[in-house]
Amino acid sequence: MTKRTRATESEPVPPQDAAEATEAATPPAPEPDRELLPLSGVRVIDVGNFLAGPYAASILGEFGAEVLKVEHPIAGDPMRRFGTPTKRHDASLAWLSEGRNKKSVTIDLRQPEGVNLFLKLVAHSQVLIENFRPGTMEEWGLGWKQLQAANPRLVMLRVSGYGQTGPYRRRSGFAHIAHAFGGLSYLAGFPGETPVLPGNVPLGDYMSSLYGAIGIMLALRHAERTGEGQVIDVAIYEAVFRQLDEIAGAYALYGKIREREGAGSFVAVPHGHFRTSDDKWIAIACTTDKMFERLAEAMERPELASSGLYGEQRKRLAARDQVNQIVIEWVGSLTRAEVLERCLANEVPVGKLNSIADIFEDEHFLARGNLARVPEEGLGEVTVPGVVPTLSETPGRITNLGPPLGNATYEVMRELLGISADEIKRLRQQKII
Amino acid sequence: MSEEAQAALPLAGIRVIDVATVIAAPYCATILGEFGAEVLKVEHPVGGDALRRFGTPTERGDTLTWLSEARNKKSVTLDLHRPEGVAIFKQLIAESDVLCENFRTGTLEKWGLGWEVLRQINPGLIMLRVTGYGQTGPYADRPGFARVAHAFGGLSYLAGMPKGTPVTPGSTTLGDYMTGLYGCIGVLMALRYREQTGRGQYVDAALYESIFRCTDELAPAYGMYGIVRERHGPSHNDFACPHGHFPTRDGKWVAISCATDKLFARLAQAMNRPELASSSIYGDQKTRLEHRHDVNEIVRDWCGSLTREEVLERCYATATPAAPLNNIADIFGDRQFYARRNLVALDVPETGETIIIPAVIPKLSATPGRIKHLGPKLGEHTDEVLRDLLGLDETQIAELRSKRVI
C-alpha cells in the first residue's frame, strides 16, 4: 500500500480547513475545454450488425471517439430495417437512435479488395468492434492474426451469443436467446405459469455492449501503456447471467432453484406491482422493516408495523399473501396520483409503472434531459434517449443520428486512406465500396 | 496469479474507495477491482454494508451475494457520522483516485463530504454518485431501488401477459447491475480524461436512466407515431414473430427467435414444413406479425410434440436461434458454462465452506481480470489501511477503536 506523491501532498490540506470549505468559498473552476472529450482522437471501427457490440461503439462516440460504421455497400446494417420505418428509406427509428454519432463507410468484406481496404482502415484505428458468428471474420482473412499484423496495438471487441470458445460458439445468438440461456427468462412470470419476456426490450444486447465498452476502456489503457493490443470476448448470455446476484451460490450451497415470482420478490414483502383504482400500476419496494413502517403510516394503519403483526420481514414473508392483499386493497381504493402522494409523503420507495406515454409527460425525465430531441433532415425532430451516464466535466453528446448508408465513404477513402478520386470511382463501380 | 502478472493489469496502481451499499455503485468498484484496482470498502463499524445481510446467509454470517460481489475488496470500518471519522475519510480521499457512493442525495454534503469539499482535497478525484433518480431534477430526493427504477424507467410495464399484472422482469436487481456498468464506463472515461488534463469530475448515474437507455426505439416510436408499446406475454414482440417461449412435451421450455425472414425459413425447415416460409404463407415478417396467433400456435404445437432436447437438436441442425429456458440447475449442468469457466469455486477461509460465484466478465485476452478473494469480513483490513496508508500508530488505532470511530 503506497502513499501518493501528488501536488496535494506537498501542501496538505488539513481536514478541518477543508471541512469549513463551502461552495461559496470555492474558487470558480476554469471553463473546461468542451471540445476535449475523454475519447477525443480515438478512432473506432464498428463492423457489427444490430445492437450487441454496436451499442458499445455508440457510447464511445458519445464520449468523443470518431466511429466509422463499416457496412455492406448494398444492404448495410440490418438494423436500418429493424423496427419502425421512417420516411428515410435506409433508416428505421432504432437505427436513427443507436447509429448516433457514427459515420457510414461501405466496404464489401466478401471481396479480397474490400479485405485489403479494411486492413488499411484497421491500421489507422485504435478499436475494432464486431459481432459476426465466431469464425466468420477468419473465413474472410480477417482473424486476429491478420488484424494484429496490420495494427499490433489494436483493441478488438468480439460480441457473440455464446462467446468465441466452448461447444456452442458457432450457434447463432440473439438477446432473446441469451435471456433464456443465461437464466433470466425462466424467472419472469407467475409461479408455475408461462415464462414471459423479461420486458419487451433486447436487454442482453445492451448489457453485452456495456461490458464490451468497459473491456475496451481497460484494453485501451493497457495498449497505450505497453503497446500491446488484445481481444475482448463477450458472450451475450454471460452478460445476462452475471446480473443474477446469488443464484449460482444458493444452488451450489443449498440446492435452491430460483423460480418465477410473478410481480413479487423472494427476499421482501410487500415488493411488487399494484393496480390503482384508475387502472394504472405502481411499484412498491419495502426492502426493510423501516420502509414497511413508512408504508403502514402512508396507509394510515401504523399498527401493521408493530412487532406483533407484520413489523418484521420474516413475518411478512411468512404471511406474504395476507400482507399483499392489504396493500392490493389499499392501492386499489385510490388513484395512482393519490397513492404516489401518500407514499412519497412518508418516503416509501414507490414509483409509477411508466408506459412510454407516461415517460414523455414526466417532469423528471424532462429535467434530466433523458429525452433528446434531435433534428434530422426530412424527418423533423426525432426523440431519442439522451446520453447516460452524466459526466460533470465532459458530458457526452449526440452530434448526429444514424447516418445515411455510405455518407462518409468518400471522405474516409480520400482523406484517411489517401486513395485517389479515380480509384474511389472504380471501387464504387465494382461495388467493393 | 503472480504479483508480476497483477502489476500488469490495466488498473494496477489505482485506488478506489467504495463507501456505497448493496449492489449498484459497489458493482462498479467490483469490476475495477477485478481488473487491478485496489478497492477499499468503507463501512459503518456496526453492521457494515447492508449487502452482508441481503439474501441467503452463509456459516460466516455474511450472505452469498456479499461474498460474491465484494470480491477483492478490503474492508475498512469508519463512522462517517463522527467528526473523527470524517477526518480520516478525507485523508483516504487524498490518497485515492476514485470514490463510489450511493447515499440519498445530500447525505455526504450533510457530513461535510460534498463534491466541492472532496475536490479541494483531491482535484483529480473521480466520484461516482448513484441514486434512484440522479442528483438533479424534481425527484432527486426520493428513495430509489431497482424495483422502482424498473417501473419508472419503463421496463416493468413491458413484462407480463397482455393486460395482465406486470411481472418482475426476471430479477429485482437488474437495474443495480446495469447502473454499476454505466457507472464503471463513466469512471473509466473520467480516469482517461484526468490522465490527459489532471482534472477530476463526478459521474451522476440514476438507476432508472440505466433501464430507460436500454429500450431501443421505445421513445422515438412514441415521439414520432404515438406508439405505446405494451407487454405481449411470452411469444412475440413488436417486431418479430415467432419470438418467445414455447413449452415442450416434457414440461420444459424453449426460446425461439426469428428476427428475420431467413431465420423463420430455417425454423420452418427444422419443423419439416418448409412451405410455411413461402411468401404466400408466412414468409414475411409483416404477415407473421399480422397472423401471430396462428404462427405461434403452429410453433407451440410442434414444440409440444417433442422433448426439449429434440426441439433444440432440430433447431440447431438448421441454425435456428433457439435455447433452453435454463434454470440454475440447467446452468450447472451445461457444457458451455463449463467450457467458458463461468462458474468459479472459492473457499471461505474462516469456515471452509465452498462458494460458487460467477466468474469475471468481460474476458480480456492479454489482461484477464482476477478474483483474489471473496468478500472480506467486516473491518478485516482497517488496521492495515490506517497503519500502512495513513501512517497511524497502534495507539491511535486503538483509541479510534475504543471510541467506535472504526
Cβ-Cβ contacts under 8 Å for A309 (sequence gap 6 or more) = A303, A315
B30-59: pLDDT as tens digits:
999 999 999 999 999 999 999 999 889 999
For residue B169, is the peptide bond before it cis, meaning its omega torsion is within 30 degrees of 0?
no
Residue B363 bridge partners (DSSP): A233
- Is 0.90 exceeded by the ipTM? yes
Over residues B140-156, the mean pLDDT reads 92
| Ramachandran category for residue B226: left, alpha or beta (phi over 0 → left; psi -120 to 50 → alpha) | left
Over residues A263-278, the mean pLDDT reads 90
Pairwise CA distance, residues A319 & A301, whole Å? 17
CATH of span B243-332: 3.30.1540.10
Confidence (pLDDT) at A31:
53
Residues of B in contact with A370 (CB under 8 A): 209, 212
Local confidence band at A172 (pLDDT 50, 70, 90 cut-offs) = confident
Pairwise CA distance, residues B26 & B176, whole Å? 9
Confidence (pLDDT) at A33:
55
Confidence (pLDDT) at A18:
40
Find the catalytic residue in B18, B49, B62, B176: B176
The one-character DSSP state at A394 is S
- CB contact under 8 Å between A3 and B389, yes or no, is yes
* Amino acid code (one letter) for B245: H
Per-window interface: A 86-125 vs B, CB < 8 A? 86, 92-94, 96-98
- Reduced DSSP (H G I as helix, E B as strand, rest coil) percent helix, strand, coil of chain A, to 5: 40, 15, 45
Pairwise CA distance, residues B121 & A15, whole Å? 8
Q: Tell me what percent of the residues of chain B surpass a pLDDT of 70.
A: 98
A343-371: pLDDT as tens digits:
999 999 999 999 999 999 999 999 999 99
Local confidence band at A93 (pLDDT 50, 70, 90 cut-offs) = very high
**B107 pLDDT exceeds 90?**
yes
- CB contact under 8 Å between A84 and B389, yes or no, is no
Kindly calculate the radius of gyration of chain A based on its CA atoms and give it in whole angstroms. 26
Range A271-275+281-352 has CATH code 3.30.1540.10: yes
HEC assignment per residue over chain A: CCCCCCHHHHCCCCHHHHHHCCCCCCCCCCCCCCCCCCCCCCEEEECCCCCCCHHHHHHHHHCCCEEEEEECCCCCCHHHHCCCECCCCCCEHHHHHHCCCEEEEECCCCCHHHHHHHHHHHHCCCEEEECCCCCHHHHCCCCHHHHHHHCCCCEEEEEECCCCCCCCCCCCCCHHHHHHHCCCHHHCCCCCCCCCCCCCCCHHHHHHHHHHHHHHHHHHHHHHHHCCCEEEEEEHHHHHHCCCCCHHHHHHHHCCCCCCCCCCCCCCCCEEEEECCCCCEEEEECCCHHHHHHHHHHCCCHHHHCCCCCCCHHHHHHCHHHHHHHHHHHHHCCCHHHHHHHHHHCCCCEEECCCHHHHHHCHHHHHCCCEEEEEECCCEEEEEECCCCEECCCCCCCCCCCCCCCCCHHHHHHHHCCCCHHHHHHHHHCCCC
Confidence (pLDDT) at A287:
85
Tell me whether strands B253-257 and B243-247 are parallel, antiparallel or unpaired: antiparallel
Q: Are B63 and B27 in contact (CB under 8 A)?
A: no
Confidence (pLDDT) at B313:
96
Let me know how many helices (H) and strands (E) chain A has, helices first. Answer: 19, 12
Pairwise CA distance, residues B150 & B211, whole Å? 6
- CB contact under 8 Å between A389 and B209, yes or no, is yes
What is this structure's pTM? 0.93
Over residues A316-339, the mean pLDDT reads 96
CATH of span B3-213+342-402: 3.40.50.10540
Please, what is the average pLDDT of chain A? 91
| Cell output for B316 | 440447431
**B404 pLDDT exceeds 70?**
yes
Pairwise CA distance, residues B32 & B71, whole Å? 11
- CB contact under 8 Å between B343 and A248, yes or no, is yes
Tell me whether strands B253-257 and B322-324 are parallel, antiparallel or unpaired: antiparallel
Cα-based distances in Å from B251 to A181, B160, B246, B305, B306 = 17, 20, 10, 11, 10
B215-251: pLDDT as tens digits:
999 999 999 999 999 998 888 788 889 999 999 999 9
Confidence (pLDDT) at A5:
56
Over residues A120-129, the mean pLDDT reads 98
A4-50: pLDDT as tens digits:
755 444 443 444 444 344 444 444 444 555 689 999 999 999 999 99
Confidence (pLDDT) at A10:
40
What is the residue whose three cell numbers read 423496427?
Answer: A83
Over residues A52-77, the mean pLDDT reads 97
Pairwise CA distance, residues B44 & B76, whole Å? 9
Confidence (pLDDT) at A24:
40
CATH T-level topology, domain A43-242+386-391+398-429:
Rossmann fold (3.40.50)
Residues of B in contact with A251 (CB under 8 A): 328-329, 332, 356
Domain locations in chain A?
Answer: 43-242+386-391+398-429, 271-275+281-352
Task: Give A319 to chain B, closest Cα distance, Å.
Answer: 18
Domain locations in chain B?
Answer: 3-213+342-402, 243-332
**Stretch among A20-29, B147-156, B176-185 having the lowest mean pLDDT:** A20-29
| Cell output for B127 | 466520484
A241 touching chain B per CB within 8 A: yes
Based on the residue annotation, tell me whether B176 is a catalytic residue of this protein.
yes
Cβ-Cβ contacts under 8 Å for B197 (sequence gap 6 or more) = A33, A36
